[in-house]
Amino acid sequence: MNKEELKDRTKKFALRIIKLVEALPKTVTGQTMGYQLVKAGTSVGANYRAACRGRSKAEFNSKLHIVLEEADETVFWLELIIEANLLPKNKLDSILNEANELTAIFAKSYYTAKRNLS
């Protein structure tokens, strides 16, 4: 997967996160988790785009680490939403799988980039 395809994939992921957050219950818990999820889930794509504009390998690596952290945080909030029964698990399986895949992609990319910095 090239960087343009990954940019597109992370943007589509962000749009899915936005739609999911709109479906959360309008309770204090739902709104609080939704706020955290939308911040982390949309940040994956935004920070990946910033990483691609990095002016050096070190800057790229630093931004990529942020992408990895945000992707992992997104997984956390999705798991919490499932475990708190805010939305049915079967409705979240696909997006949770995508969040886990993106986390794995960015973890591998980060560690490869870190190794190449040395």
Judge whether 106 and 71 are in contact, CB under 8 Å.
yes
pLDDT digits (tens, 9 = 90+) for 10-59: 999 999 999 999 999 999 999 999 999 999 999 999 999 999 998 999 99
Task: Please give the CATH number for the structural domain made up of 3-117.
Answer: 1.20.1440.60
CA-nearest of 52, 51, 67 to 13 is 67
pLDDT digits (tens, 9 = 90+) for 56-95: 999 999 999 999 999 999 999 999 999 999 999 999 999 9
Domain boundaries, the chain: 3-117
- Cβ atoms within 10 Å, residue 39: 15
Rounded CA separation 65/48 (Å): 10
CA-nearest of 94, 92, 67, 91 to 78 is 92
Query: Using DSSP, how many helices (H) and how many strands (E) does the chain show?
Result: 4, 0
- Cβ atoms within 10 Å, residue 55: 7
Residue 23 token pair: 């479906």
